[in-house]
Amino acid sequence: MFLVCRGCQLAANSYLCLFFHRYISYMEAGNQTGILEFILLGISEDPELQPLIFGLFLSMYLVTVLGNLLIILAITSYSHLHTPMYFFLSNLSLVDISFSTAIVPKMLMSIHTENKSISYMDCLTQVYFSMFFPILDTLLLTVMAYDRFVAICHPLHYMVIMNPRLCGLLVFITWFIAVMTSLLHILLMMHLTFCRDLEVPHFFCELTQILRLSCSDTFLNSTLIYFMTGVLGVFPLIGILFSYSQIASSIRKMSSSGGRRKAFSTCGSHLSVVSLFYGTGVGVYFTSAVTHSPKKVSVASVMYTVVTPMLNPFIYSLRNKDVKRALGRLLGRVDSCL
């Protein structure tokens, strides 16, 4: 049941991408700015550093894709991992792969071809997905915190509460919120005009950087950014903190030290990922607030766009015995086939 739900999400996502590309093509035809492309300046313009940057980002991207793909394969291959916790984890891994894929390959291609231009449509597509996947990450981490809350605070009713229907509904809601929020930002951007230097001091089309290039009034766009950041950033964090406050209270009441260790082990990986995700996000926010150097902001953005998706599978595989055991069996089957 969990696998069917994830398959439905993949199919829905493919139709969403097709609709999104067609919609942007239509809007681009009616766009009166006359803008055909933006210029992504990247992390550094030093020619001597380009091979190093290319190799570093290529390595991190391959590790991200391979690590998260192994997590997904391990969860789908072994029935004892077909539980709500690992269903949400497989969705998180899928989002991490997609997030890196939306950004890193274009950057690598720009370095390889020495062509830093990106079309108007491709830039808007990248803006869309650079918002879509972080929102999904935030909401999925919140859902996973709720799952751990039910598992530890209401263990006898866990499978009744976290049934396949509820799990599928929770994931659907997270995808729906992410789709509609990102689409709203893009619809507002469609009405902007660009009449000055179109050089983007970043390695991908980031929303705030693109808005700075517009000669239109961006007050509504900026207001929406602050509002959605508060709603989809602060409230999920409050939900996560509340869940873990209840979990901590339940753990303190446990008389068995073995039960406490098991509860800590099931929550440790999720807490580490939450800390990494919000820590890098807050770091990028304060970097952009403190410094006026776009280059420093783009370097800080590497943490949440590339490093965090790469580290997530390591955190879950190293701190989770079930995942580690499943990965060992999966790699053993691959070795035997070779």
Q: Which CATH number is 318's domain given?
A: 1.20.1070.10
Q: Quote the distance between the C-alpha of residue 311 and its chain's center.
A: 12
> What backbone phi and psi angles, to 5 degrees, belong to 37?
-160, 160
Residue with tokens 């290319």: 54
- 10 within some domain: no
**pTM for the model:** 0.85
Please write the tens of the pLDDT for every residue from 302-313: 888 899 999 988
The C-alpha atoms of residue 188 and residue 183 are separated, in whole angstroms, by: 9
Do strands 199-200 and 37-40 pair parallel, antiparallel, or not at all (unpaired)? parallel
Residue 84 contacts residue 147 (beta carbons within 8 Å): yes
- 321 within some domain: yes
Please write the tens of the pLDDT for every residue from 248-285: 888 888 777 766 777 777 788 888 899 888 888 777 77
Q: In what order do the strands lie in the sheet with 117-119?
A: 117-119, 37-40, 199-200
The C-alpha atoms of residue 92 and residue 104 are separated, in whole angstroms, by: 18
- 30 within some domain: no
The C-alpha atoms of residue 218 and residue 233 are separated, in whole angstroms, by: 21
- 12 within some domain: no
Domain that holds residue 166: 48-337
- 38 within some domain: no
- 255 within some domain: yes
Farthest-apart Cα atoms in the chain, separation: 69
**Size of the chain in residues:** 338
Please write the tens of the pLDDT for every residue from 202-243: 999 999 889 988 888 999 999 999 899 889 988 999 999 999
By CB neighbour count within 10 A (0-12 exposed, 13-18 middle, 19+ buried), where does 91 fall?
Answer: buried
Q: How many domains does the chain have?
A: 1
- 107 within some domain: yes
